[in-house]
């Protein structure tokens, strides 16, 4: 068997839109009728139309378009499958086989192949575009010699390859687009590489300059840190001079508050802020009369109201200093309570800064466990009983849990 491709100038990339029809229920199915002797189906007396014979009924039942071509190259018979893709199979009969093809070259090629089949009885195959009513299809023509009722015909089975042709064209287009995209990408990569090289040169120059100034910057930071520490120490000293009991209290509260922050894994920066705020949390007491702070026994309600002002005074002092931490807000909130019963604003719950909630618990524990001018030390047991009883009411439950955990592990004030 030989196969010949028929090329048509009228079918090229883009023509797939003109070949929308897909023939047959299963267009990939081909039926091999090579060497079939239809006389074996029984006597076939001459009749006006082959379609009325048992052979015609057999060919009509095929889902693939089939033609019988006479030696004169006229179409003797077309099965019903042609009615779905081209002219009515009855009207196509009697027309020239040339009428099915788009141009002279195609017609000449198919005529030559048909003549070869009639002469040699060897099967032939060709590919090309067949004209149909719904639009052109790209098909493969299988040509087979056939004898029926003493007459010689060529059986032409047309296999629709339109979808395959469309896929091939799409694949070729896709490959071209990929090549184009690859070329554009290579160009952009080269351009970007050149830009990066220029940027790297600039970066190396900047790094050199930064290294030169790095020593100066470290020295400046060290100076600023020393200054900040000096400011904090000076602030703490102001309160200590007013009340000698505060010095030890501030130090111990800062120690416990920092440890609680570490236990809660707040991070280095927030832990440091909590400890520093604790060290100066009573700075506002510099406005409280000394006799109130050192008075033995209880104090009156008016005196207590004056003492409560120390958190607002501490806030007003600290807010004017540009600390890298919100120390003023922490100091302002350290007497607020979870249920809103604290002072100075009655802030409650999550609206109280966490660092202030930690400071509040540390302040209570240290104050209760230490001696005061107005009462003896109550002891650590009383302090832990207080925060445990009011856990979630006055004090943050997570902070209380962290504090109790520390004490259970053996924490002691230094």
Give residue 182's pLDDT.
84
Please enumerate in sequence order all residues whose Cβ is within 8 A of that of 320, keeping only pairs 6 or more positions apart, or say none: none
- 350 shares a domain with 250: yes
Q: How many domains does the chain fold into? A: 2
Same domain, 14 and 158: yes
d(C-alpha 302, C-alpha 354), whole Å: 30
pLDDT (tens place) for every residue of the chain, 414 residues total: 555 544 333 333 344 334 333 333 333 333 344 444 444 444 444 444 676 677 778 888 888 888 889 999 998 888 888 766 665 556 778 888 888 877 788 788 888 899 999 988 888 888 777 766 556 777 788 898 888 777 889 988 888 777 777 787 788 888 888 888 888 888 888 888 888 888 888 888 888 787 777 766 566 555 555 556 666 666 666 666 666 666 678 888 999 999 999 999 999 999 999 999 998 888 888 877 777 666 666 677 888 888 888 899 889 988 888 888 899 999 999 999 999 999 999 999 999 999 999 999 999 999 888 877 667 778 889 989 999 999 999 999 999 999 999 999 988 887
**Structural domain span for residue 232:** 225-408
Q: Is the peptide bond before 344 cis (omega within 30 degrees of 0)?
A: yes
pLDDT at 7: 38
User: Which of 350, 349, 368, 365 shows the shortest CA–CA distance to 402?
Assistant: 365
* CATH number of the domain enclosing 101: 3.30.450.20
Please indicate, yes or no, whether residues 154 and 230 belong to a single structural domain of this protein: no
Quote the pLDDT of residue 87: 54
Q: How many whole angstroms separate alpha carbon 108 and alpha carbon 106?
A: 5
Residue 276 to residue 327: CA distance in whole angstroms: 8
Residues near 38 by beta carbon (within 8 Å), at least 6 away in sequence: 44, 55, 146, 147, 148
CA dist 119 and 54 (Å) reads: 27
Q: Give the end of a domain, one of 144, 164, 184.
A: 164
Q: Can you state the angle between helices 380-389 and 397-408, rounded to 10 degrees? A: 150
Cα 384 from Cα 31, distance rounded (Å): 96
Relative to beta strand 137-148, strand 151-160 is antiparallel
Helix (H), strand (E), coil (C) string for the chain: CEEEECCCCCCCCCHHHHCCCCCCCCCCCCCCCCCCEHHHHCCCCCCCCHHHCHHHHHHHHCCCCEEEECCCCEEEEECHHHHHCCCCHHHHCCCEHHHHECCHHHHHHHHHHHHHHHHHCCCEEEEEEECCCCCCEEEEEEEEEEEECCEEEEEEEEEECHHHHHHHHHHHHHHHHHHHHHHHHHHHHHHHHHHHHHHHHHHHHHHHHHHHHHHHHHHHHHHHHHHHHHHHHHHHHHHHHHCHHHHHHHHHHHHHHHHHHHHCCCCHHHHHHHHHHHHCCCHHHHHCCHHHHCCCCCCCHHHHHHHHCHHHHHHHHHCCCCCCCCHHHHHHHCCCCCCCCCCCCCCCHHHCCHHHHHHHHHHHHHHHHCCECCECCCCHHHHHHHHHHCECCCECHHHHHHHHHHHHCCCCCC
Same domain, yes or no: 266 and 400: yes
pTM metric for this prediction: 0.48
Q: Are residues 48 and 126 in the same domain?
A: yes
In a domain, 218, yes or no: no
Instruction: Tell me which residue has tokens 């048909």.
Output: 114
Instruction: Find all residues with CB under 8 Å of 126, minimum gap 6, and list them.
Output: 3, 4, 5, 6, 109, 110, 113, 140, 141, 143
| pLDDT for res 350 | 94
CA separation for the pair 257, 251 (Å, rounded): 10
68 backbone dihedrals φ, ψ, rounded to 5°:
-110, 125
Single residue among 164, 191, 213 that ends a domain in this structure? 164
Contact 368, 253 (CB under 8 A): no
Q: Are residues 155 and 301 in the same domain?
A: no
CATH number at residue 387: 1.10.3210.10
Question: How large is the C-alpha radius of gyration of the chain?
Answer: 51
- Domain membership flag for residue 247: yes
Token reading at 401? 């849990």
d(CA 11, CA 25): 25
The Cα 359–Cα 371 span in angstroms is 19
* Strand pairing report for 75-78 and 66-69: antiparallel
Q: Are residues 127 and 266 in the same domain?
A: no
159 shares a domain with 252 = no
Q: Is 322 contained in some domain?
A: yes
On whether the CB atoms of residues 345 and 311 are closer than 8 A, the answer is: no
What is the per-residue pLDDT for 13? 39
Q: What is the pLDDT of residue 86?
A: 63
Considering the domain boundaries, does residue 216 fall inside one?
no
Q: Which of 148, 164, 180 is the last residue of a domain?
A: 164
What's the confidence (pLDDT) of residue 186?
87
Do residues 38 and 148 touch, judged by C-beta distance below 8 A? yes
């Amino acid at each position: 068997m030989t196969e010949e491709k028929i090329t048509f100038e009228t079918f090229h990339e883009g023509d797939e839109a003109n070949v929308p029809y897909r023939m047959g229920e299963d267009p990939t199915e081909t039926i091999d009728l090579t060497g079939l002797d239809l006389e074996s189906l029984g006597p076939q007396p001459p009749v006006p139309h082959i379609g009325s014979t048992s052979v015609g009924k057999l060919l009509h039942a095929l889902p693939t378009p089939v033609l019988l071509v006479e030696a004169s190259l006229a179409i003797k018979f077309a099965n019903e499958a042609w009615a779905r893709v081209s002219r009515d199979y009855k009207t196509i009969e009697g027309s020239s086989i040339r009428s099915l093809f788009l141009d002279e070259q195609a017609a000449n090629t198919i005529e030559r192949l048909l003549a070869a089949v009639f002469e040699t009885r060897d099967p032939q195959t060709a590919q090309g575009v067949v004209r149909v009513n719904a639009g052109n299809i790209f098909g493969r023509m299988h040509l087979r010699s056939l004898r029926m009722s003493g007459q010689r015909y060529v059986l032409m089975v047309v296999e629709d390859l339109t979808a395959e042709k469309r896929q091939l064209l799409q694949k070729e287009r896709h490959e071209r687009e990929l090549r184009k995209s690859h070329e554009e990408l290579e160009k952009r990569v080269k351009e970007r590489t050149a830009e990066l090289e220029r940027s790297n040169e600039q970066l190396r120059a900047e790094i050199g300059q930064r290294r030169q100034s790095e020593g100066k910057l470290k020295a400046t930071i060290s100076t600023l840190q020393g200054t900040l520490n000096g400011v904090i120490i000076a602030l703490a000293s102001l309160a200590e001079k007013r009340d000698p009991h505060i010095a030890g209290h501030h130090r111990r509260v800062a120690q416990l508050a920092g440890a609680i922050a570490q236990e809660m894994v707040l991070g280095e920066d927030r832990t440091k802020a909590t400890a520093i705020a604790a060290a100066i949390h009573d700075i506002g007491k510099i406005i409280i009369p000394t006799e109130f702070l050192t008075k033995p026994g209880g104090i009156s309600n008016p005196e207590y109201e004056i003492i409560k002002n120390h958190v607002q005074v501490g806030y007003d002092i600290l807010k004017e200093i540009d600390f890298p931490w919100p120390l003023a807000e922490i100091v302002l909130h350290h007497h607020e309570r979870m249920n809103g019963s604290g002072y100075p604003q009655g802030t409650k719950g999550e609206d109280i800064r966490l660092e202030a909630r930690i400071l509040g618990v540390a302040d209570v524990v240290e104050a209760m466990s230490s001696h005061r001018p107005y009462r003896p030390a109550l002891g650590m047991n009383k302090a832990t009983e207080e925060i445990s009883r009011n856990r979630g009411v006055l004090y943050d439950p997570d902070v209380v849990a962290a504090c109790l955990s520390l004490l259970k592990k053996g924490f002691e004030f230094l």
